[in-house]
Structure 1
Amino acid sequence: MSDKIFVEKLVKKFKNNNQFEIEELNNINEISNKNLNLLSNFIFQFTRNSFKNITFSKNIFIPITHLCRNQCSYCGFREEPSKNGQILMKIPKIKKLLEKAKKFDCKEILLTFGEKPEEKYPELHEELIKMGYNSLHEYHLKICNMALEMGLLPHSNPGLLTIKELENLKEVNSSMGLMLESSSKRLCEKGGPHENSPSKIPEKRLEMIEHAGNLKIPFTTGILIGIGEIFPERVASLIEIKKLHEKYGHIQEIIIQNFLPKEGTKMENMKPIPIEQLIRTIITARLIFRDSMSIQVPPNLTLYNLDEILQVGINDLGGISPITLDEINPEMRWPSEEELKKICQRNRLKLKARLPVYPQFINSEFVSHKILKIIESY
């Protein structure tokens, strides 16, 4: 079958709302660039008809601690305890950041830290006890409540959590997140990027996303591409996410995040993934999720190719901060809201701010009374 006929077949199945075979999705990686353009043009028109605007959430990024029990080969966020003893962001600094968020009209407070750091670093637990907290989870809840008291909306991404921790955090979060990254067990094997990362075992991450679904927590997840996975593994990861969303209906957005090498990591000499591969993955995600899902690409990681990416199948640019760095990729500055407006305008698109919880989840089933009250006050 020629590429052109294959693309026509994909479009016809999509229009008829037929399910794609896994082999068909895998073969998107084999389409020539010329015929890929035919598919991307169709996907662009579908996305624009389904999602009228390109959305983003104005936020601040608060890394409660950079300590982490995982040692992912590509990660630049994780740090060992510093010599000056600063292993935890303290309340006075957090309060100042929250005040800045109010001043700059940021609604979202992105709270994150390394996975289960107390298990690896007893000094963190000792520090928390000195401060009057029994656990990092308890401290995290305190910070969420501080944000709520100031009329701000927490979105927490703290790694793997127990069901009880998820229940507690649902009360004080507008939404939560956990990147699946990849459903490939192969990446956890010796020599893989997740070899020394017990929290990156796919079953554990899928289990937590499922627990969040059981609890009806509006949820963000996604995949990290370019870390050694192959295209069919990306397809498999997206399908696993779709299965959970079809079962629970709680996933509000999928992030397609491109890997960028970080100096000082094991993968510092690995080449970034080609933009063409990112585009093929976005197209595949839109074919899988159709109009049921917001698909997001971080603009600071793709700024020089954003015009091209906006012409594919995304409808969201995620959290953007006028105040804080992207702590995961601190070397990649956030584009300003004005910059993004101009990029959208030249692509005949409209940029629109959103909340960290999507409209379809703003109800008492998915968010607490505390959260609803704050949203109603805007």
Structure 2
Amino acid sequence: MPVITFSRNVFLPLTNVCANTCGYCSFKSPVAEGCVMPKEEVVSTLERGAAFSCTEALFTFGERPEREAGFTAYINRMGYPDILSYCKDMSRYAISLGILPHTNAGILTYEELEDLRPVNASMGLMLETTAEIPAHAHSPGKDPSVRIEMMENAGKLKIPFTTGLLLGIGETRDDRIESLEVIRDLHKKFGHIQEVIVQNFCPKEGTDMASFQGASTEVIADTLRLSKEILPADVSIQIPPNLADASLLLDLGVTDLGGVSPVTIDYINPEHPWPALDALKDIARGYEVRERLCIYEKYCTPAWVAPELFGLVSELAKKVY
């Protein structure tokens, strides 16, 4: 029986403040009281995650929030110089509970990636598209060359990495092919791309693209076929089961259903709740549903895992793999 995997995670958006203003995003919020997730809430959420046997702590936040006027004062008030220091501290707490951190923080420099690596089993950045599109006109961090450079740096640092495409944001089929080819070439060079998410944009009220239709099932299906054709066989292809009807798409090369949380919502797409873990078996009828870590099995080696994390990765890998 073919296998479909998923990661049992806990989702922690440390802040919604972001230097980018994407035409389709409702995640971004202004600098104001409560714009940083309180430490007590992070701690209690992680502890609930541990109680539900979560193995992944997904840390995410708006890109470069310190560039937004007034944000630094809020993070300083919490005792941290910047959001990355806060993320590192909370990552250490997750590790103490036996949960592996996976950070998706937007654009990071080589030095910042290197600094986060000892407390992250894996990291991620959605490429989204290699195309220059109107939706990214006010988002300097969505410059394709900047995102590709970060993915290259992650490869140089041997960080197991997740990336993906966002469909229906103004790109063409040729753009999707080019994006997949860029990811393919990065993986051939560095071997670090463990999974590629094929994610459909979901229109949000109050955004510039609220009236856009997003990607049809046909476009998602075509992109999955392209992904299977273009990407190397050792790169997992993922679709989020709360955003698309996965049961109609699994036979097109999908091997993973991504992170699914029994504890927290999808804060990026709160209007689309996760399926219950038990429901994954119905979605993936005809497949064996198998849990995985945020770091794939082949990367659970000293070459790919920082010494500080290797003990926990090895312990969890024995249970899961």
Q: TM-score range by the shorter chain?
A: over 0.9
1:81 corresponds in structure 2 to 31
> 1:196 maps to which residue?
138
Partner SS, residue 311 of structure 1? helix
Match of residue 377 from structure 1: 315
> Secondary structure at the residue paired with 1:246?
helix
Which residue in the other structure is 2:126 paired with?
179
- Return the match for 1:167 from 114, 119, 126: 114
Q: How does 1:344-363 map to 2 (within 5 A)?
A: 344-345=284-285, 348-363=286-301
Matched, 1:65 2:7: no
1:106 corresponding residue in structure 2: 54
The code of the aligned residue for 2:122 comes to: S
1:132 to 79, 83, 105: 79
The aligned residue for residue 240 of structure 1 is 182
Question: Amino acid of the residue matched to residue 327 of structure 1?
Answer: Y
Question: C-alpha separation between the residues in 2 aligned to 1:264 and 1:68?
Answer: 17
Q: How far apart, in 2, do the equivalents of 1:342 and 1:229 lie?
A: 33
Residue 161 of structure 1 aligns with an amino acid whose one-letter code is: L
Tell me by how many angstroms 1:370 deviates. Answer: 2.5
Would the aligned equivalents of 2:131 and 2:144 in 1 still touch at CA under 8 Å? yes
Residues of 2 paired with 1:102 and 1:369: CA distance?
A: 22
- Spell out the pairing of 1:1-378 with structure 2 (5 A cutoff): 52-82=2-32, 85-121=33-69, 123-185=70-132, 187=133, 192-302=134-244, 305-345=245-285, 348-378=286-316
Q: Deviations over 1:293-333 (max 9, x none)?
A: 1000000001xx22211121100000000111111101000
* Distance (Å, rounded) in 1 between the aligned partners of 2:13 and 2:242: 18
Letter in 2 for 1:240: V
Identity %: 42
TM-score in terms of structure 2 length: 0.96
Amino acid at match of 2:13: P
User: How far does the alpha carbon of each residue in 1:96-138 deviate from its partner, in whole angstroms, 9 at most, with x for none?
Assistant: 00110111000000000001010123x2211222222111111
Once the two structures are TM-superposed, the CA of residue 375 in structure 1 deviates from its matched residue by 2.4
Cα distance in 2 for partners of 1:290, 1:341 equals: 27
Tell me the CA shift for residue 290 of structure 1.
Answer: 4.3
Residues 32-60 of structure 1: per-residue CA shift (max 9 Å, x gap): xxxxxxxxxxxxxxxx7xxx310000001
Q: Aligned-pair distance for 1:170?
A: 0.6
Equivalent-residue separation in structure 2 for 1:209 and 1:272 (angstroms): 26
Offset of residue 195 of structure 1: 0.4
Counterpart-to-counterpart distance in 2, 1:339 and 1:284: 28
SS at match of 2:36: coil
* Structure 2: gaps of 5 or more residues: 317-321
- The CA distance in 2 between the partners of 1:135 and 1:81, in whole Å, is 14
In structure 1, how many angstroms separate the alpha carbons of the residues matched to 2:260 and 2:309?
A: 21
Distance across 1 between alignment mates of 2:268 and 2:281: 24
Deviation of residue 160 (structure 1)?
0.4
Q: Deviations over 1:218-271 (max 9, x none)?
A: 000011010111100000000011111100000100000011100110000111
| Structure 1 SS opposite 2:198 | strand
The two structures, once aligned, show a CA RMSD in angstroms of: 1.1
CA contact (8 A) 2:161 2:194 kept: yes
CA contact (8 A) 2:167 2:214 kept: no
> Is contact 2:121–2:313 with CA below 8 Å preserved after alignment?
no
Where does structure 1 differ by over 3 angstroms across 4 or more consecutive aligned residues? none
Q: Distance in 1 between matches of 2:152 and 2:232?
A: 21
What code does the residue aligned with 2:31 have? Answer: P
TM-score (norm 1): 0.82
Secondary structure of the residue aligned to 1:300 is coil
Shift in Å at residue 292 of structure 1? 2.1
Alpha-carbon offset, residue 92 of structure 1: 0.8
Determine the C-alpha separation between the residues in 2 that align with 1:254 and 1:341. Answer: 22
